Structure 1
Amino acid sequence: MKWVTQARYLGLHYSPDSSFESCTDELFDAGQRAMYALINKLRRKGLFIPRIALMCFDTQIRSILSYGAQVWGPYFLLQLLDRPRDAEGRHCYFDHAMEDRMVGIQRTFLRTLASIGRVPDNRLLFREFSQEPLHLHWATLVYRFWNKLVRGKNSISHNVFREEIRTALLTNCIRPTWGSMVLQGLRCLGHWPDLPADLDLEGRVDFLSTREICIESVMFTLEEHFKEDWLSPRLLILPRDFVSDGGKPGVKMCRHTHWMGMPHHDASYIPMSVYTSLLRFRLGAWALEVNCPNGRLREQRWCRVCNNADSVEDEYHVVMECPAYTEMRAGFAELGMGQSSNMLQIMSMQDQLGLARIIHSIRMRRSSSMGRT
């Protein structure tokens, strides 16, 4: 017999000399290759637009990165959940999820879709495309698998499931076994099953092995923790009054909340040439003076297009104030936006194609005025 260092079973690689979660190494490599192949193919076909590209990512890339997550997923979930809160009392689940290399593939795909090299804020990037880090999908698969095992009474898998629970209870969920990690993750989320106090070990095993997880409730808690920065009262401050101290949700989130709002641009077709201008504008990725501090105070980042030393060049100034774009700004009236419309209403208008064309024309005018191509 040939001696090998690892074996493959049902598409996953295992090795006695490495941890079980290392079986995701091949999934990462395969997912990365598939992502770049998908991007190239969609671009050749002229289909690399968010609405189509995101559906292709879910069916082709996410499925690779989530293969077997029912088994290895609890390890990565516990790495995310079992961490102390920061000094401000936040769980920081989103920040920790960004450290995962699998989510790195997802982030690279979204960044390429938005045509930006550097992401100003990953929270804006994921929100703009209505995406969540892969951990939420993995959690759903894990909890569905638990419920499937509960319903599979008198089967081999159910007997193994009972042994997993017994091992977890005997070690107080300390050992890195599948059952221990699932139960420990539920404990971190505040959804530990309410075990009757008068039960012995076998009674607790019987109780847990017949107890389905309320997936809707657990996922609601997990999603709320992922969105905690978007619920911060600091975001209620007006963007131009916001002072970023580096330790709390940033000013870009504040500007996105007050000036951009929730994305509505995925409902209809928008040519990618103008779509890119809209996406980059919404993400705060334009090379505006406010986005290029260069050690200057905010009030010193004045607009070099209108040469008004009293006007800071930010997204609001570009859309609502700068006299250099008055001609293009008149197009908002043709799209149903009156003089009393604020920026949030303009960026959330129903005709997103018309909005994208105006934003693109402003971008071209600005580039011309700044002597850029």
Structure 2
Amino acid sequence: MIMRPGGGSGNGKLAAGESFEYAGLPLEVASSTKYLGLTFSQLSKQHGFASCADVLAKAGRQAMFAMRRRAWELGACLVEQQCMLFDVFVKPVLSYGCELWGVDVLLRPDCSSVERVHRWFCRRVQGLPKQVTAAISLAELGRQPLQSFWIQQLVRFWNRLQNSAADEDRVLGWAFKDNLEGQRSKVTERIRSQRGSYTRFGGVRHGSR
């Protein structure tokens, strides 16, 4: 299966004249695939793996409604109880795999679909109208945006990768080193190509055409 930026026509189909084979067999170019509970869509230079969060937001919304319904049946209607249940049953669903897609979501200027579920819950559990800002609804509950939790998970994941690189017997360390070497090669090649595209004439730098 092939997942690549742009994906040809963007719908999982090959562009004219393109073909991918392995061991003489054609490979499928898919618009999305599910692996270990995460749905990966074709990579985008602007959004990366942010599409994973959009799918998790739907699952998290369903988990939130199920949690609230069950809590109501059991009489757990206090705000503190609702927040605790959200962190136990809903937050793990919304943050699943954030070590992979968290970077792309954190770089987006707008609010992510996952965080919107969290903000909706904070307003709903307090009975606040939509006009109330997210900052106020979070502050009243003493809660932080989910992005804070994602950053913690990303840092922990990075530290684990760094530690695995020191262990020569771990496959994770091999993959991490190989990925770093590939990134360094791309950066070096880009720098060389940029240097080659410029020529100095009399102290003035002119771009080649």
Q: Which has the larger radius of gyration?
A: 1
Normalising TM by the smaller chain, what interval?
A: 0.5 to 0.7
> Do the aligned partners of residues 126 and 79 (structure 1) sit closer, same or farther apart at CA in structure 2, a change above 3 Å counting?
same
> Do the aligned partners of residues 120 and 113 (structure 1) sit closer, same or farther apart at CA in structure 2, a change above 3 Å counting?
same
Asked if the contact 2:102–2:150 (Cα under 8 Å) also holds between the matched residues in 1, the reply is yes
Asked if the contact 2:60–2:93 (Cα under 8 Å) also holds between the matched residues in 1, the reply is yes
| Correspondence for 1:8 | 34
Q: Residue 135 of structure 2 aligns to which amino acid in structure 1?
A: R
What's the TM-score once normalised by structure 2's chain length? 0.65
- The match for 1:163 among 151, 158, 178 is 178
| Correspondence for 1:43 | 72
What's the TM-score once normalised by structure 1's chain length? 0.38
SS in 2 for 1:20: coil
Give deviations 1:213-234, integer Å, cap 9, x for gaps: xxxxxxxxxxxxxxxxxxxxxx
| Correspondence for 2:200 | none
Cα shift at 1:50: 1.7
SS in 1 for 2:108: helix
Asked if the contact 1:119–1:125 (Cα under 8 Å) also holds between the matched residues in 2, the reply is no
> Do the aligned partners of residues 170 and 121 (structure 1) sit closer, same or farther apart at CA in structure 2, a change above 3 Å counting?
same
Structure 2 counterparts to residues 1-373 of structure 1, below 5 A: 5-16=31-42, 19-80=48-109, 96=110, 99-152=111-164, 153-154=167-168, 155-170=170-185
What number of residue pairs does the alignment pair up? 155
Q: How far apart are the structure 1 equivalents of 2:65 and 2:163? A: 40
Cα shift at 1:146: 0.6
Asked if the contact 2:99–2:153 (Cα under 8 Å) also holds between the matched residues in 1, the reply is yes
SS in 2 for 1:158: helix
Q: How far apart are the structure 1 equivalents of 2:123 and 2:137? A: 7
SS in 2 for 1:79: coil
Cα shift at 1:7: 2.6
Asked if the contact 1:73–1:138 (Cα under 8 Å) also holds between the matched residues in 2, the reply is yes
Q: Residue 162 of structure 2 aligns to which amino acid in structure 1?
A: V
Cα shift at 1:126: 0.6
> Do the aligned partners of residues 133 and 168 (structure 1) sit closer, same or farther apart at CA in structure 2, a change above 3 Å counting?
farther
Asked if the contact 1:7–1:13 (Cα under 8 Å) also holds between the matched residues in 2, the reply is yes
Q: How far apart are the structure 2 equivalents of 1:62 and 1:51? A: 15
Give deviations 1:31-81, integer Å, cap 9, x for gaps: 01111121222223221212111111111111001101111111112335x
Q: How far apart are the structure 2 equivalents of 1:78 and 1:9? A: 24
Q: How far apart are the structure 2 equivalents of 1:25 and 1:164? A: 26
> Do the aligned partners of residues 115 and 157 (structure 1) sit closer, same or farther apart at CA in structure 2, a change above 3 Å counting?
same
> Do the aligned partners of residues 26 and 118 (structure 1) sit closer, same or farther apart at CA in structure 2, a change above 3 Å counting?
closer
SS in 2 for 1:8: strand
Indicate the structure with greater strand content: 2
Percent of counterpart pairs with the same letter? 27
Listed as ranges, the gaps of 5+ residues in structure 2 are 1-27, 191-209
Root-mean-square deviation over aligned CA pairs: 2.5
Q: How far apart are the structure 1 equivalents of 2:77 and 2:116? A: 19
